[in-house]
Amino acid sequence: MNPSTHPIVSREQWTIQRLALLAREKELTRQRDDVARERRAMPWVRSEKDYVFDTAAGPRRLAELFGGHSQLVLQHFMFAPGWEQGCKSCSFMADHVDAARVHLAHRDLGFVAVSRAPLADIERFRRRMGWQFDWVSSHGSDFNRDFGVSFTQEELASGKVPYNYTLQSFGVEEAPGISVFFKDEDGSVFHTYSTYGRGVELMMGSYDFLDIAPRGRDEDQGRGMAWVRHHDRYEPAPAAPKADGCCEPSADRLR
C-alpha cells in the first residue's frame, strides 16, 4: 500500500466518507451489544464431572480454579504432551492476559489457562514467556475432550473432527478455545459459554490496533496467523523449534 495507488482526497471529502463509516461503526457497536445480551441470556449447564487438574499448588478441582471469584474465563491453550513448546497463536492470545487480570479481578472474573501437557512442561514454557497467570494441566483427564479441543488419532484419520459445534477438517490433535464458568455460593459450577475458531479473537487485542491501521492485519488469504511468532522469537531473535501441530488458523475460518 502506498499513496501513489490509494485514493487521496480533500479534508472535506474525507470527512464525508468518515461520517458514513461512523454510521456503520455505530451500527456494529449496537449489534455487538445485542449479541452480548443474547450471550448472557444463554442457559447454563451444571458441571457434573469431577475434573481434577495438576497445578503448582497441587491437585485442584474445577471449582478450585476460580481464585476467589464467582466467574472464570478459561483459555484452552494448545500444548499437547510431547510438544517442545506451546502453540504460538495461543501464546499470542495469552500475551494479552496479564495486564488485564487486575481489571478482570475487580469485576469478579478470574482467568486460568488449561493444557494437556504435563505441568512441568507448562511451567518451563510459562517461565520462558514471562507470564504470571495461572496455567494448569488437564493431563490424564477428559476435560479437553469434553470441551471439544482435543481429538483422537482415529478422528484425525477420518478427516473430520467435532470442533466448533460441527464436523470439520482439522490437521492437529489440539484446537484453541475459550470457555466461561460460574460458581454459586454453594460451590456448584456451571458452564455458561464457549467459543472456538475465530471466536477466540476476543482475546487478541492487538488485532483491534491492526484493524484500524492502513495495512490492517496484512494476512495472506488462507494462511491466517502464519506471521505470528512467540514474542521472544520475532526477528532478529533466533528461531525456536516449532511445536508439532501448532495452529495457524485460516483468516477466513468461520466461527
Percent of the chain clearing pLDDT 70 (strictly above): 91
pTM of the model: 0.90
Q: Where are the domains of the chain?
A: 9-41, 46-203
Predicted confidence band of residue 237 (pLDDT cuts 50, 70, 90)? low
Cα-based distances in Å from 72 to 20, 23, 89, 163, 214: 39, 35, 21, 22, 36
- 251 pLDDT higher than 50: no
pLDDT value of position 224: 80
Per-residue pLDDT reduced to its tens digit, 113-165 = 999 999 999 999 999 999 999 999 999 999 999 999 999 999 999 999 999 99
What kind of fold does domain 46-203 have according to CATH?
Glutaredoxin (3.40.30)
- 51 pLDDT higher than 60: yes
Per-residue pLDDT reduced to its tens digit, 178-188 = 999 999 999 99
